[in-house]
Amino acid sequence: MMHNYRIGIDVGGTHTDAVILDQEFNVISETKQQTTTDVSTGIYHAVKEVLDSSNVPKDQINYAMLGTTHCTNAIVERKRLNNVGVIRIGAPATLGIKPLVGVPDDLRNILGQHVHIVRGGHEFDGRTIAELDTEKIYEIAHDLKGKVDSVAITSVFSPVSTEHEYEAYNILQEVLGDDVSLSVSSEIGSVGLLERENATILNAAVVNVARSTADGFINALKKEGVDAKVFFGQNDGTLMSVEYTVKYPILTIACGPTNSIRGASYLTNQSDALVIDVGGTTTDIGVLTGSFPRQSSLAVEIGGVRTNFRMPDITSVGIGGGTIVRENSDGTIKLGPDSVGYQLQEKALVFGGDTVTTTDIVVAKGLAQVGEPSHLSNLSEDFVDQAYRTLVENVEVAIEKMKTSAEPIPVILVGGGSILLPDELEGASVVHRPNNFGVANAIGSAIAQVSGQIERVFALDELGREATIEHAKQLAMNEAINAGASENDLEIVDFEDVPLAYLPGNATKIKAKAAGTLAE
């Protein structure tokens, strides 16, 4: 009998997890491998291990989903970044703060080699500030030729009118051809010029990293005899094709926490809950609302750069399974923030090491069974109790921060380190511990839906409001189907319309996003 299997992979700071699911999403095999410095080797090990430990015929693996930190790492480490051209359309406005002012100097030196500001842009109501200086765009395009890998284009109030960004896009493409990748700000961020521009520049900077990651992943699969369709996880919990990933690599940032939230939702069948993912070094707490992660409403920093693009709202506490426990001189307990990380199996007392970790504390408390408990005989009961109380209290404070009301809500515990936490937590109505909790993130990656999105200005006078909205939703659904979504359970997951005054024809900007499961 032919089956339809899929591989899901999630790359975290400490571990790279992989799962194989069948078409009913049952977990066939799972593995946890160490994340390697180059990331790709760890992915290869995980792919190999999860295949070897299952009897799944390789030709029946049709999909492979990857949630990865390649792009985040490139930005944080300032390595392997593209030569970027930066074009801002907005003069005479905006000259008071030039592109990349406020960005850390080391990154500014790398990304700020080819910066241009040209006349153009729009007002908040869609009127033009100035006509676009197309002659200057041609001049810049010829100047950039041969010098850059990608170009970031940002125009003032492009979330209201995309006109000037696309005019510039067309000129740049005409001159530079297909070899230079173009990133357009209105497709990446919302109102807030500097933050959107920064996100667009970062996007342009990691295009090649995304491309080589995708190639590497496809090759790793091929090497193992798997010829699957490849998808990348994005930070809203949906998948994108390789072509889309290479165009919008910035959307892969923070897909890890999103995957674990979506995986936790799937494993417990909950749509509204708090998800606590305890890793080796940190505990990430996110909020599941309507089966998707709650998005942050505040400016988000990536590698020290302020951006405003959509990100899951996550709070992190420096407590994980490898967190080092110390006693302060006044007798109080200090947890971390440093961790023994992946060296837990060598350094923790319970494994014969010499470092007191949170894992030792829960084993000493009798709440978990790993390693050799007799190694813990030197820990005083008082110390253990106090350390445990501090640990739980710190997580409870973070829970309180993330909740939106005083009502207790369900809590889902996932991640390898979740054995640290008790079955009762303040603020939680119930604590769920699903099966396969250790690889919830890889499962979240594997079960993710496919999405399609449109963002366009429509003249409501032509069709009328209702019909226009329907039309826009249909366009988004078509995009999703083109990306590989099934027609059967396609849904509009995000919709926004912004009326634009001062424009003829009752113009409205509509943004619609549709998502559905992968078509078989």
Of residues 163-222, those binding another protein (CB under 8 A): 191-194
Binding mask 88-117 for another protein (x = CB under 8 A): --xxxxxxxxx--xx---------------
Which among 301, 291, 287, 284 is positioned nearest to 269, based on CA atoms?
Answer: 291
Give the shortest CB-103-to-another protein separation in angstroms: 10
Q: Which is nearer to another protein, 94 or 508 (CB)?
A: 94
How many angstroms separate the CA atoms of 438 and 415, rounded? 4
Give the shortest CB-404-to-another protein separation in angstroms: 5
283 in Cβ contact with 417 (< 8 Å): yes
Give the shortest CB-143-to-another protein separation in angstroms: 23
Query: Using CA of residue 208, residue 214, residue 217, residue 222, what is the dihedral sign?
Result: negative
Give the shortest CB-335-to-another protein separation in angstroms: 15
> How many Cα atoms occupy the beta-carbon half-sphere of 488 within 13 Å?
5
Eight-class DSSP state of 32: E
Binding mask 30-69 for another protein (x = CB under 8 A): ----------------------------------------
Alpha-carbon separation of residue 203 from 86, 185, 186, 210, 295 (angstroms): 11, 9, 12, 10, 19
Which amino acid, residue 490?
A: L
Instruction: Give the number of residues in contact with another protein, rule: CB under 8 A.
Output: 33
Binding mask 291-330 for another protein (x = CB under 8 A): -------x--------------------------------
Which of residues 106, 124, 223, 334 is near another protein by CB under 8 A? Answer: 124
10 Å CB burial of residue 131 (0-12, 13-18, 19+) is exposed
How many angstroms separate the CA atoms of 357 and 345, rounded? 11
121 forms part of the interface with another protein (CB under 8 A) = yes
Q: Which is nearer to another protein, 28 or 93 (CB)?
A: 93
21 in Cβ contact with 440 (< 8 Å): no
Q: Which is nearer to another protein, 133 or 149 (CB)?
A: 133
Binding mask 245-284 for another protein (x = CB under 8 A): ----------------------------------------
1 forms part of the interface with another protein (CB under 8 A) = no
Give the shortest CB-150-to-another protein separation in angstroms: 24
Eight-class DSSP state of 348: B
156 forms part of the interface with another protein (CB under 8 A) = yes
Give the shortest CB-151-to-another protein separation in angstroms: 21
Give the shortest CB-97-to-another protein separation in angstroms: 5
Q: Which is nearer to another protein, 124 or 227 (CB)?
A: 124
Eight-class DSSP state of 455: E
Q: Phi then psi for 434, rounded to 5 degrees?
A: -70, 160
CA 260 to chain centroid, in Å, comes to 11
The number of beta carbons lying within 10 Å of the beta carbon of residue 499 is: 13
414 in Cβ contact with 276 (< 8 Å): yes
Of residues 392-431, those binding another protein (CB under 8 A): 397, 400-406
239 in Cβ contact with 448 (< 8 Å): yes
Residues near another protein (CB under 8 A): 90-98, 101-102, 121, 123-125, 127, 129-130, 156-157, 191-194, 298, 397, 400-406
